[in-house]
Amino acid sequence: MKHSPTSIIGNTLKWILLISLLALALLPLLWLLVSSLRTNLELQTDPFGWPQKFQWVNYANALAMASLPRLLLNSVFVAVVTVVLNSLVTSMGSFILAREHFKGRDVIYTILTAGVLVPVISFMVPYFSMITRSGLYNTLLALILVYTAVNIPVSIFLVTAFMKSIPKELEEAAIMDGCGFFKRFSMIILPLSRSGIVTAATFCFIYSWNEFVMAMLLTSSVESRTIQLGIKFFSSQFITDYSSMYAAVIITIIPSILGYVFLHDKIIGGLTTGGVKG
């Protein structure tokens, strides 16, 4: 089959654009990885050069210098508990908004999802005031509650759209078989909404893992801080250990990448299903 010159040019431009976008996404990560294996002197003299010898010791230094193992455990605990709590709250709320009919339902849904449009930084003063007055300042529980609340609008939007796509006939058949309100939720809607919930949970995990501003605002000690705050320990008034800092950054982004690699099918499925049928 012969292709016209126009289609050949179009395909060529398409691939050039795609490769360029891929390079823009990957090159900074590759530079960061290579830089994490160089010495500080090499970075200062030739920032874009190749290391004369791979400095794997930078990763050992990163783990030792910034109390990274403790911060890593804190981040894992905060992210996992936040995801569980957020998924529990939003799945129940989304079930009501998607499957039940009552006066004011659309108003409640609009109010909840409108939080997506509000910048998170605008919540700094209210959250700080609430956390300090409740005695939760400098605790992991404070971060868990704040991260759960911040992610509710996005999770409600995604999970509600997915639950609306489930055929009503399944629920009607369950009602005829004697399923009550709780059984309809736990045995019918919840299992069928796994892809949507996983999608929302993944976004919630990524936010909780990478968040810096609220963690800096609501904590003040290593015992209750997360791994993102450990990056600043590599910078002092007189010197910055860039090599170990870059190694620490690589360590912090690995969980997010692995999470997406293993769950990308469910994430894409949840987004497309909710977007097309919701």
HEC string of 180-227 equals CHHHHHHHHHHHHCHHHHHHHHHHHHHHHHHCCHHHHHHCCCHHHCCH
Q: What is the CATH code for 57-277?
A: 1.10.3720.10
Distance CA 175, CA 99 (A): 13
Q: State the pLDDT at residue 25.
A: 86
Q: State the pLDDT at residue 275.
A: 47
Tens-digit pLDDT profile for residues 99-110:
888 888 889 999
Q: Are 206 and 75 in contact (CB under 8 A)?
A: no
| Average pLDDT for 1-8 | 70
pLDDT band for 268, please (50, 70, 90 cuts).
low
| Average pLDDT for 227-256 | 78
Which of 10-24, 197-211, 244-258 has the least mean pLDDT? Answer: 244-258
What value does the mean pLDDT of the chain take? 85
Strands (E) located in 11-116: none
| Average pLDDT for 155-166 | 90
pTM for the complete prediction? 0.81
Q: State the pLDDT at residue 267.
A: 63
Is 276 a residue whose pLDDT tops 50? no
